[in-house]
Amino acid sequence: MTSSISLDGKRILVTGGVRGLGQAFAEAAVTAGAKVAIADILEDEGQKAADQMGAAFVTLDLAEPASIANCMDQVAEKLGGLDGLVNCGAIATGIGGPTMMETEIDVWDKVMSVNVRGTWLMSKAAVPHLAANDNSKIINIASDTALWGAPKLMSYVASKGAVISMTRSMSRELGADGIAVNCIAPGLTMVEATEYVPEDRKKQYIDGRALQREQLPEDITGTALFLLSDAADFVTGQCLAVNGGFVMN
């Protein structure tokens, strides 16, 4: 993909950058001229992916606060600072199907620790580096499931709803540091993490969209590049639903 949005000179960290949307965001940022680091728990795959896209790689376990702190220290050293953070790392597979009555407490807690606490701690660790520069950006990747209340996915939906609300609160607190904080709520996107989704749910999305087709990673990367760019310097506290019109807010 060739980008028309420039990120020349920007130093960007993408968590969960080895596969799926995270990989697409990282590749798009590299194409747009940014110096990029990807962070992921998949160490062997991560180094290979980073080498292929021309990025740096750092190991990250979002469930472990010490790993988050260590990751940020390494990223700041490798990139020489930080201008943008894309919080894409999350638990999305293997948690769909059970009803709210069937969801196990340990699954709920694990999803919350990674998707919510991990996003908060990653952002917290990044703030000193982002605040050192003008017009820095944080993008939190949420999900449109939190906007329409997808059933049989409650721990994930709740975690992404928290990410949306947290984005608004973070934008208020970090505005004084010149940091813009926004989130993107993608629809069901055709990536490895969504392969397990039942066909009836995939059909529900396609049929319910104003633009009736499958959603691909490249349908979302342009929005992320815009929010990371200088063109979005006065955009903050917003949740952009990018889902072909399945949810309109």
Q: Give residue 92's identity as a one-letter amino acid code.
A: A
CA distance 89 to 94: 15
Q: Tell me the domains of the chain and their CATH numbers.
A: 11-242 (3.40.50.720)
pLDDT at 94: 85
The pTM assigned to this predicted structure is 0.95
Q: Nearest CA to 164 among 186, 189, 197? A: 186
Check residue 169 and give its pLDDT: 98
pLDDT band for 192, please (50, 70, 90 cuts).
confident
Confidence at 3, pLDDT banded by 50, 70, 90: low
Where do the H-state alpha helices sit in the chain? 20-31, 43-53, 65-79, 105-112, 118-130, 145-148, 154-174, 199-208, 218-228
Q: Give pLDDT, residue 21.
A: 94
pLDDT one-digit tens code per residue, 56-101: 999 999 999 999 999 999 999 999 999 999 999 999 888 989 999 9
Any catalytic annotation for residue 205?
Answer: no
Which residues lie across from 13 on neighbouring strands? Answer: 37, 85
Q: What is the pLDDT of residue 197?
A: 79
Predicted confidence (pLDDT) per residue in 26-39, tens digit: 999 999 999 999 99
pLDDT at 2 exceeding the cut of 60 = no
Q: How confident is the model at residue 113 (pLDDT cuts 50, 70, 90)?
A: very high
Out of 57, 120, 156, 246, pick the active-site residue: 156
